[in-house]
Amino acid sequence: MRRSLVLATAAVATLGLLTGCSAEGDGSDTGGKTTLNVAALEGGYGRDMYTQVVQAYESAHPNVDVQLQISKSIEDEITPNMKAGRFPDVVVLGQGRKAALTETLIKDKALEDLTPVLRAKVPGEDKTVGDKLIDGIVGNLNTNPYGDGKTYTMPMYYAPTGLFYNKGLFDKKGWKVPATWDEMFALGETAKKDKISLFTYPTAGYLDSYFFALLADVGGEQFYTDVMTYKQGVWQTPQAKQVLDLTTRLLKYAAPTTVGYANEQDFTKNQQSILDDKTLFMPNGTWIVGEMADAPRADGFAWGLTPLPAVTEGGKRYITTSVESVWVPAAAKNKDAAKEFVAYLYSDAAAAIFAKSDAIQPIDGIVSSLTGENAEFYRVYEDPSVSALVGGFAGTAPVEGVDIKGTLFDTANSIISGDKTQEQWQTALNDASEKLRQAGN
């Protein structure tokens, strides 16, 4: 599959075509071997794949000793050392986490420019990293947060995100997956009669994939970009009100356990409600299959993935592409060696190891090798009525007390509980966006 992704910024550098610069360097410490400190989040794909990739790298690079630190709460483990001036050399950690470590370093302009990695040959191969990546996966606000043509976070894995559901339940009930929001709410009423909730989310942070797609569904790509770049008054527009209208209505159908379990300790219980046929839909990514692989499930259960319903019948729909990142702190000790290691992560050998854990990298041609559920999930990109969306909020200078992601996503908990109104939500979003707009000027 070689298909361009919809970008969150109009100014896109064609980074895959750059040539001539190498990211290789020995980064040697005194005494010979280079010690490379790599920190990675243990997410839904597990930890074994990192151990195997490190072993493969060390076998091919006997002069490098990779010290791997992996944890489900990696931010909590590395942040104290970073504050003390001891930085890892490579970090595998995307945006959208509650701790917002990646976002913080972006705002502080504390990441190393990785544009040279795109021009570097993959260790042991003839192609450059940029040549191997699918079109459009770099050059957006996710990888180039300052819009200056430079890449600071490399796309590590990509996955279609959308509404996950049990295909077996829909077959059993004879229900059709809603194609429009009117059909969605009608199904909510039907399911209610069977004491099944229409919607839940693991934690409110998972609403990123939901909101990004809905913003584009409602207002198109330009409106989405305007929101992501804090255009003045964007949250006071009719399109913004429509986004919040639809969401507030949907949250009225949320499973009653949603808010209570929407935390890092209990979120799998909200996910379990899909497997138990207590809830129909939840926003998530393809990693859910591995994450819940050992969980009990209803008879005939089979994972399904659908984009959000269309705003108008036959209207264009977008599906948010989750892109997890790898980056190098600007204060890392062995930056040249770190860049070479990052380049290796896109090798055929590394990609094969990651793919065994369902961690699919944005490498051209890799989708054709997928089988089973993953093959079906990634087939969503072949639907001509669905466009992929990648990117996120533009980075700005830090603004004390402002967290627009928290305002957009976490307020859903307060809408469900009745602690906040839709009008308060819209006002808070407008205030946060305006402060960030001013900080970006």
- At residue 10 the predicted structure's pLDDT band, cuts being 50, 70 and 90, is very low
Find the mean pLDDT for residues 17-46.
Answer: 65
- At residue 29 the predicted structure's pLDDT band, cuts being 50, 70 and 90, is low
What type of residue is 392? Answer: G
Residues 239 and 226: their CA atoms lie apart, in Å, by: 11
- At residue 22 the predicted structure's pLDDT band, cuts being 50, 70 and 90, is very low
For 324-345, the pLDDT digits (tens) are 999 999 999 999 999 999 999 9
Find the mean pLDDT for residues 228-233.
Answer: 95
- At residue 244 the predicted structure's pLDDT band, cuts being 50, 70 and 90, is very high
For 365-407, the pLDDT digits (tens) are 888 888 888 888 988 887 888 888 887 888 787 789 999 999 9
Residues 263 and 257: their CA atoms lie apart, in Å, by: 12
Nearest residue to 352 (alpha-carbon basis) of 331, 365, 366: 366
Residues 242 and 300: their CA atoms lie apart, in Å, by: 37
Q: What is the dihedral of CA 243, 411, 377, 176, to 10 degrees?
A: -60
Contact 3, 9 (CB under 8 A): no
For 407-426, the pLDDT digits (tens) are 999 999 999 999 999 999 99
Residue 164, Cβ density class (10 Å: 0-12 exposed, 13-18 middle, ≥19 buried): buried
Q: What are the structure tokens assigned to 194, written together?
A: 């069977």
CA angle 320, 18, 360 (to 5 degrees): 35
- pLDDT score for 389: 87
C-alpha distances in angstroms, 372 versus 44, 95, 359, 393? Answer: 18, 28, 14, 33
Residues 120 and 328: their CA atoms lie apart, in Å, by: 16
- pLDDT score for 402: 94
Residue 6 φ/ψ, nearest 5 degrees: -65, 130
C-alpha distances in angstroms, 399 versus 65, 79, 392, 395, 402? Answer: 39, 20, 18, 11, 6
Residue 9 has pLDDT above 80, yes or no: no
Neighbours of 278 (CB within 10 A): 17
Nearest residue to 436 (alpha-carbon basis) of 220, 175, 228: 228
pTM of the entire structure? 0.75
